[in-house]
Structure 1
């Protein structure tokens, strides 16, 4: 019965997140319309999402969760807490360094992602500014995925599953 309950929890949270994500996208489209501001926003938000797949949902979580689970089994909660603290600190440090470097090099990053924007200086500058605002999102999403992995290891699925719902609301 626990499997069905956990499946229902995660499934309903995912469905609700998708619906609210659609509503968010509709509201953004209504607010920004179609044009250079919307184009700048899409490119600016693509950048942290690209890195999020690597840090939050990709290689990091694929490596961290099994290691954390094994640490819980072999060393208990105290060893797991120490391990998670060390890994969390290293992750945060790497994210802060990456964010600082990205902030400094953002014009080059935007040019690499959207080279066509360089023809329109105003659109390019807006995209650089929006990208600098949006990029720290990577830090928070990666830390959220990290904490979600810890919660899932302890079979606490609801908080991690409903986090994207809250992100769409906010």
Structure 2
């Protein structure tokens, strides 16, 4: 019984087996990582064209086709990313310009309102002087100009016919700046 107790104290059961199992697991894990790294390096050197000496024409043609397909996929992905980025930038530009356009529209709206107010004041002044124009309309001056008033319509000018005077005055028309020649 004493031997068993000493053995249990100095060398617990299954300790040697547990240590060797742990060491094997670590080595297996390291070996697996090493295999993965080796495969990646071999694939990388194959892709770079460093390990092509043992390949025949058919294998080289297959490899070339695979590389062309890979390049097409890469270019398609790159093009799509660039298109998406362009769309995003256009959206941002439109959003920024949209606010600028809105500001410009507001400024134009203010200017239009100012012009409308000025027009209203001018119409008011025009209609206030309308009574004076009615008095001038009946004057004896031939070919005089008068403003004809109508509600809610813009002012227009009209040429009044000469009043009935003696024939000597009517035979000589007034000289205007523009004359028509037949």
The TM tier, using the shorter chain, reads: under 0.3
Structure richer in helix, relative to its length: 1
Report which of the two has the higher share of strand: 2
The higher-RCO structure (CA 8 Å, 6+ apart) is 1
Larger radius of gyration: 2
TM-score (norm 2): 0.22
User: Normalising to structure 1: TM-score of the pair?
Assistant: 0.23
